[in-house]
Homo-oligomer: A and B are copies of this chain.
């Protein structure tokens, strides 16, 4: 099994780089000029102002000209988490490493997310978030990083953030651009 260690390598590499924001490509916004086959370990990563996060856009709207899907590699340090948020797109997760908790509020409450369901997530697991359902992912493991591939439709993602599960949907705060701030312009309100 000469090659089976590659995934291990992939995982370790991301951990080592977790808190750096190394930019190894000439530009973070270049659609042209990138190699057609790209080495993920050489792609730009950033924490986008969120402690404990490493985000890499593997295939993205602003960076690579994707129009229908985006793929991200995200690593969460122990204790770190996404905000409580929703977005108007499908999202699929593949857990590569680590464990954590998914909190998911289905659409049964019309005015606010409400108390979420709780799911354990684990290595080699997958799940998807229904369009517009509020959710949060927490690395609840005290010692190990949580690393996931995330796939979304309808890029670039527009994220609505809730301070807690009982904030009305209409009071959730839009954050756009969410990633790739330096490449995307904020849309007019009526574009959303």
Measured between beta carbons, the chain B residues less than 8 angstroms from A81 are none
Does B125 contact A38, Cβ atoms closer than 8 Å?
Answer: yes
Interface residues on A, range: 35 or more
Does A67 contact B90, Cβ atoms closer than 8 Å?
Answer: yes
- A interface, over-half SS: mixed
Any chain B CB within 8 A of the CB of A99? Answer: yes
Contacting A92 at CB < 8 Å: which of B66, B98, B124, B127?
B66
A3 vs chain B, min Cβ distance (A): 4
Measured between beta carbons, the chain B residues less than 8 angstroms from A152 are 69
A141-173 contacts to B, CB under 8 A, are 141, 143-145, 149, 151-154
- Pairs across A and B, CB under 8 Å, 16 listed: A1-B12, A1-B144, A3-B145, A6-B123, A6-B124, A10-B123, A36-B104, A37-B120, A37-B127, A39-B124, A39-B125, A68-B90, A69-B69, A71-B92, A71-B126, A151-B151
* With A3-B123, A36-B119 already in contact, 15 other A-B pairs whose C-beta atoms are closer than 8 Å: A2-B143, A3-B97, A3-B145, A4-B8, A5-B8, A6-B11, A6-B98, A7-B10, A10-B123, A13-B124, A36-B104, A39-B122, A68-B90, A69-B92, A69-B152
